[in-house]
Amino acid sequence: MNHKMKGNIGFFVSGGKNVICKELSVTNVANTGRFESGTKRGGLVDGEKAFTHALVACEDISINGESYTENTFI
């Protein structure tokens, strides 16, 4: 997508509605990527964030009994 890595996501839902997830387990999500920093000093820097769950533009999402109705990054 012609941009630096912004992070890793274990479980991603975009535009979901009335989704029920039971016994969902996402673990050990990490971003170990490295990229050029783009600064005058140069060099490599670590990747950005890592999330187990990301919900974007969703309505009525249930994950293991917890309800979500807006953008959420866990």
Angle at 25 between CA 9 and CA 74, to 5 degrees: 45
pLDDT value of residue 1: 36
Q: In the structure encoding, which two tokens stand for residue 33, read together?
A: 């990527």
Say if pTM beats, i.e. exceeds, 0.85. no
Return the pLDDT at 71: 83
- Between 8 and 64, the more confident residue is 64
- Which range of 5-14, 25-34, 48-57, 58-67 scores highest in mean pLDDT? It is 58-67
CA distance 64 to 74: 13
Quote the pLDDT of residue 2.
Answer: 42
Q: Tell me what percent of the residues of the chain surpass a pLDDT of 90.
A: 34
Q: Give the residue, 59 or 34, on which the prediction is more confident.
A: 59
Task: Round to whole Å and give the CA distance between 49 and 43.
Answer: 19
| Sheet with strand 17-21: strands edge to edge | 17-21, 59-63, 66-68
